[in-house]
């Protein structure tokens, strides 16, 4: 593991993310930005395992706020309200590595095709689905990504790996 960062280094990391926010809304640029956010979230989660300071927790929440900003740039107020209905904290990405990596690869494929896609677990506000495809801001398409087979044939919109 890399050495724990100081509060100033955390602030600098947030500033770099702020300065590189993809205002042009291109699907690939947004996805590349989300990949940067994922790296920062994973690094911070690793640091939290060794130091659960309020500064690190606040940093993690702040980094996820940039993903929230992408959601607001791609979805209508109504869609966000609907996708934010579930409660709870955003999950630790590092606790779901294999499934998370598969979901990221699927999303990268969509973004490479020019489809705007959001990784819901990266945000503070989106609480439904794994991937949100934003071709229509008022009616996004939700994907639930699972590595194992769906338990019920009625499950639709589930993308399975393997």
Looking at the predicted structure, is the pLDDT value of residue 4 above 80? yes
Looking at the predicted structure, is the pLDDT value of residue 154 above 70? no
pLDDT of residue 161: 53
How large is the greatest C-alpha to C-alpha distance in the chain, in angstroms?
51
pLDDT of residue 150: 57
Q: Name the most confidently modeled range: 10-14, 86-90, 95-99.
A: 10-14
Sheet with strand 158-160: strands edge to edge: 117-119, 131-133, 141-146, 158-160
- Rounded to 5°, the CA angle 93-97-102 comes to 110
pLDDT of residue 162: 47
Cα torsion for 93, 18, 29, 127, to the nearest 10°? 40
d(CA 159, CA 65): 27
Q: 105 and 119 in contact (C-beta within 8 Å)?
A: no
pLDDT tens for each residue of 40-92: 999 999 999 899 999 999 999 999 999 999 999 999 999 999 998 877 676 67
pLDDT tens for each residue of 108-145: 999 999 999 999 989 999 988 889 999 999 999 998 88
User: pTM of the full predicted structure?
Assistant: 0.84
pLDDT band at residue 156 using 50, 70 and 90 as cut-offs? very low
Question: Of 81, 86, 89, which is closest to residue 127 (Cα–Cα)?
Answer: 86
Domain assignments of the chain as residue spans, ordered by start:
7-160
């Amino acid at each position: 593991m890399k050495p724990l960062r100081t509060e100033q280094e955390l602030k600098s990391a947030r500033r770099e993310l702020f300065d590189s926010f993809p205002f042009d809304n291109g699907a690939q640029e947004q996805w590349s930005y989300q990949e940067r956010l994922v790296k920062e979230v994973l690094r911070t989660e690793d640091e939290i395992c060794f130091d659960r300071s309020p500064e690190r927790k606040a940093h993690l929440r702040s980094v996820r706020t940039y993903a929230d900003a992408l959601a607001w740039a791609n979805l209508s107020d109504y869609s966000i309200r609907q996708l934010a209905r579930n409660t709870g904290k955003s999950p630790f990405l590092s606790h779901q590595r294999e499934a998370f990596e598969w979901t990221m690869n699927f999303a990268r494929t969509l973004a490479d095709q020019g489809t705007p896609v959001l990784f819901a677990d990266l945000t503070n506000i989106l609480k439904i689905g794994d991937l949100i495809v934003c071709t229509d801001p008022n009616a996004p398409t939700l994907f639930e990504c699972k590595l194992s087979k769906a338990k019920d044939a009625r499950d639709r919109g589930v993308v399975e790996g393997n």
